[in-house]
Amino acid sequence: MPELPEVETIVRDLKKKVLNRAFLDVWTDWPNMIKKPKNFGLFKKGIKGERIKEIKRKGKNILFRLSGGKTLLIHQKMTGHLLFGNWEKKKKGWRPKAKGPLEDPMNRFLHLVFWLDNKGQLALSDLRKFAKVELGESREIESSKELTSLGPDPLEKDFNFRQFEEILKNKKGKIKKILMNQTLISGIGNIYSDEILWQAKIHPFRDVSKINKKELKTVYRVMREILKKAIKLRGESISDFRDLEGRKGQFDIARKVYRREGESCSRCGAVIKRMKMTGRSAHFCPNCQK
């Protein structure tokens, strides 16, 4: 699933490509991804003519504030990613008109295509078709429980260590699960929780109540450092993620433990392990993460 750095990469690119553009038309072959309104005809009617006035990220959600007081919400979920370009419909699906990164096989699962007034198209490629799309009055969309229940963004300027410490105060449970709990801190998932804890030398199964203040300060510091670095490197594409132009992110060069089980730890040389954690995987060094 795209996490904070991948979603932020898409949002920053969208601001360059589609801000102030208007939607002319829309197509889908998977209307189930449109959760609001349920009827695709109403969705199509509601989006046509709307101009994009603002684009922002809330956790892992992308919000397009539109000219008519509406908001378009897109959550890319497990395998979705937005693309910008030009495609033509063929019998076997959509094909990009130009040679380049949009031809990457991971970009061929187009299930939602918007036509914009700058002759470009905004498309959602989603292999597993889990992505969620909503269109409604801004007040309704942005006051939904799903958005209001999100914890603070770890890269917000006012998200200081004191706030981080207060969130974790009196909490019990494995530190990796705490970092991925979207109601406590928004945007961090499996990849970056592993990378943060490796850098901080904290074992992912450690109970947060057993982590001292000095260690917490390290987790806070490296959390912000790694997320910023991942954004600079345009995200991680070890799986499905591609940026708005269809290119892979470059965080792979910085990845230390995620999906590196059986390899040597770059810090101490021990063999990296993977263990299950309630349906997810935790990757860590058993020697230098305590």
pLDDT digits (tens, 9 = 90+) for 96-124: 999 999 999 999 999 999 999 999 999 99
Q: Are 103 and 97 in contact (CB under 8 A)?
A: no
Q: How far is CA 38 from the centre of its chain?
A: 24
Which neighbouring-strand residues pair with 277? 280
Confirm whether 178 is domain-assigned: yes
Q: Domain check: are 86 and 50 in the same one?
A: yes
Mean pLDDT of 165-187: 96
Structure tokens that stand for 57 in this block:
């990220």
Q: Do residues 12 and 108 share a domain?
A: yes
> Catalytic amino acids?
2-3, 60, 280
Residue 269: pLDDT band with limits 50, 70, 90: very high
H helix count then E strand count, the chain: 8, 13
pTM of the prediction? 0.96
Domain around 134: 4-143
Q: How many domains are there within the chain?
A: 2
244 lies in the same domain as 218: yes
- CATH number of 276's domain: 1.10.8.50
> Backbone phi, then psi, for 205, in 5-degree steps?
-90, 0
pLDDT digits (tens, 9 = 90+) for 55-79: 999 999 999 999 999 999 999 999 9
Q: Is residue 289 part of a domain?
A: no
Residue 215 reports pLDDT greater than 90: yes
